[in-house]
Structure 1
Amino acid sequence: MKTLTTLSTLGASVLAAGVALFTLSGSARAAADLELWRLDCGSIVVKDLSSFSDTFAYKGESRTLTDSCYVIRHGADYLLWDTGLPAALIGKAPDLSQPLAPSLRIDIPTQLGKIGIKPDQIGIVGISHNHFDHLGQASTFAKATMMIGAGDWESLHENPLPFGVMPALVQPWMDGKAKIDPASGDRDVFGDGSVTMLAMPGHTKGETALLVKLPQSGPVLLSGDVVHFEEQIGNNGVPPFNIDRAESLASMERMNRIAKQLNAKLVVQHDADDIGKLPAFPASAR
């Protein structure tokens, strides 16, 4: 009888421990508070837009592309998505004689200061791909871990370098003085499904997009350079400087399907018409 009582007590203890563990696990998985800001990280005047089409579209057209960066607050943690154009461009007029004429009026730390965030609070720098207009101010955040597609990290070490790649912009990581985290395939950034880097190769070997599942306003899908403007989705437009045409088209289809399936707000980062899809800085989306 005593044995049965002991076993019963032991069983109750195990059950109680299991319930406590389940409760703790559920609590740990509880959704963190999410907040997203769009930052102004420059603009690029494209003198001849036909350079963005391998099917001879856009002849005689020019366009100004936006260069956007984004800050995501996940509880007390901060992710900076892309780092825009180099701060050295501030105060310089764009050279309109060049095929691509970048310009920048304000740096990222100044904008972060306006929303009460210090550069050292950025724990992760997520990079959609390794082109200069997305890596420009990365070194300002050398204390952060850099997440970048594994293929793009490898390309930063190639000789000769691919189009648009400037390793000097990420010198702290190249020198091993800052932590690098190359991502192969999709990456759940915080481990709770709220923020996911999505593998979207084609523009570059390791191109990625970012899905942010905001609890109040709904999912936001940040395109990286899977496309540069929205009409490329409808007309299957691929720039000739993309690494792989077939992968580009497959990634465009995947991105578009994800946006539709999740009813996500697709923000094409270089499309000036997409700026209004998110609240104007310093307001945020939640």
Structure 2
Amino acid sequence: MHTLETESQFVGHLSEALAAIEAVGGPRPEVAIVLGSGLGGVVDKIEEPVRIGFADIPGFGQTTAAGHQGELVRGWLGGVPVVVMAGRLHRYGGWSNGQVVFPVEVMRRLGAERLIASNAAGGVRPGLKVGDIVVIEDHIDWMSGSPLARFSPQAEVDQVTDESRLLGSDPFARAPVPIGRGKKVYDEGMIQKALAAARQGGFSATCGTYLAVLGPNYETRAEYRMMRRMGVDVVGMSTVPEVLAAARMGMATLALSMVSNVASPDTAQQANHEEVLAAGQQAEPRMLQMVQAVLRK
């Protein structure tokens, strides 16, 4: 549980962030959108955009992944007022879970009642192809702990792996609010609209389970074989913290995974981030169709 002092710090960061964003203007958003690797071009479709860099928003960290612009954009998409994160923070960048989800807290308080999150992910289920889109209907969360612990000297490991000290000192940490077992994290109505848009557009989109890992890494063949046995369809290094934060705040949520590379457990293949970006450019028009369909009530 975080302390009253860190709660006060969090409220201060939140107020400062909202003030900075409101100062540059833009419509009150109905929908928040998080754009992942290779999908940043969707932001160019926004009408009457009002942009502010993450660096100019108090409390926002800097994105480190290639293909992430690091901007918050307010405007109109398909006639609906939106707020869009062109890029996101990743746990493997050294950010705490509280820092990763802080922008979602901000977008909710700007007025967004729905969240659409996208990511690039590795395809685990046989039959998936690069450029396919998987609509997440469930997930497995392997994002606990600190990715820095694997790369830091022991003195630093002691600092970043002590959960009680982390929660006690991190001004972005939020007291955990459990989500009831019967509560569906991903909104069924939004899922069905996304799938209908794919059918109308004549491209592949299926439902599946997303495995969220800390990273930064591409999985080994042995890990892919394990994931298949677990029932995983796609694996990536983001999205779940943001989705859980949105669910706790009562936001209806949709998450889309673009298959950027396909697992080949029986043959050695090397994946790289350039392939992820290229796959994103290929899938971007399809992703946009689905997002626009979901925006319509």
The normalised TM-score by structure 1 is 0.32
| Higher RCO (CA 8 Å, separation ≥ 6 residues) | 2
TM-score when normalising by structure 2: 0.31
